[in-house]
Amino acid sequence: MFLFTRMLLLKKQLVPTLIWLLMPLILTVVVVQWGNAAARDAQIPIAIVDEDHSELSRAFIQELQQMDLLTIQLMGKQKALYALEKNQLDSVFIIKRNFEKELRNNKRNQLIEAYSTNRSYFYFAVKENISSLAQRKATQAKAAHEVKNLLNKYDSDIEWSFDEIVAQGQQREERYELLTVDFSYYNENESSSPTEKTNLLTSWGIWAFFTLISTFYLFDWVIKESNHPVVVRWLQSKISYITYFFSTLAVYLLIMLVIDILTYRIIETQFIWSEVLVMLVFRLTCVALALFVAVHLKQVLSYYFITPILALLLALLGGVFIPMERFFAKWPIMSELSPVYALLQWDVSLVWSVFIVLICMYVYRKESNRFA
């Protein structure tokens, strides 16, 4: 009987309901794909021509490929210059023959040849990055020569090859930071790092924002059905209104949780139960917020006006659009203002967990008294 009644009410709202249910997943995938495409378009296309084909030149190219802002294509010289003429590349860099041999002999002049056009807008910036990397390789080679000379000068029993000395030097570079800079503002005790990672505009932040909006709009049935003229018939019905209310809520919640698990499987490569639990708690929090707002409003238009503002505010406080780490580091209690922040940290918020329980008790009591 309940399912039949529910399906009758959903018949005219089936398409909008499906759209709101699937909206967080679809928009998250679309926004993430768009962001990745924009990031790829923002990269600088250059060509590297390796005429030396040595181990050192290949290692040099591999380090260049790790630079995020560069899209590196390995080509032959003629093909690369042709692509440059057609403005398909920003610039071309040629690793000349004897690159490794010259470095091993402590010679570092004219090792790389560069080509550009009047439309190579990023040429100088790219050239500086490549020159810096080449200079570091040359410095490592020079250091290796100095060590070899010292070993020969003092007749040392240690026999290290050129490659072993360079490898030892690279290990020391990775192990010890030669230069670190900490800074802080006046009257601040805590130092700050410019490389501090944030959760700004992550896929889960985007999903959280759209989930808040979709959950709010999915629960407009609370206002619509409580204000419908036939609602007084619950006084003569075998099923109480509170049973119908929470049964409907359970159906919506079950469908949402299934879609949330599907979303997690699509976005994440590994299935971690603790993260799924955090995700489900966040969904329960969204539902509790939607119920709390819906039971206090009588007009659907007011509900449609207030809930997007509330969703945007919670997303902002959760650090979806602006970094909040420094703010929360100074006032940790403020991190409990939004359930979004707990989701981005993959943590269950005790405050919002208690909020879920209190809202369920409050809504049960309030709706039970409607037709008592």
The predicted-structure confidence for 327-368, as pLDDT tens digits, reads as follows: 888 888 888 889 999 999 999 888 999 999 999 898 888 877
pLDDT tens-digit profile of 229-258?
A: 555 555 566 677 778 788 888 888 999 999
pLDDT band at 193 (very low <50, low <70, confident <90, very high): very low
In single-letter form, the type of residue at position 78 comes to Q
Residue 105 is predicted with a pLDDT of 75
Q: Is the pLDDT of residue 192 over 70?
A: no
Query: Look-up: residue for tokens 């049964």?
Result: 247
The pairing of beta strand 70-74 with beta strand 91-95: unpaired
Residue 272: other Cβ atoms inside 10 A: 11
- Average pLDDT of the chain, as a whole number: 80
Q: What is the 3-state secondary structure (H, E, C) of 332-356?
A: HHHHHHCHHHHHHCCCCCHHHHHHH
For the question of whether the overall pTM of this predicted structure is more than 0.85, the answer is no
For 48, the enclosing helix (H) or strand (E) is: strand 44-50
CB hemisphere CA count around 343 (13 angstroms): 32
On the question of pLDDT at 69 being above 90, the answer is no
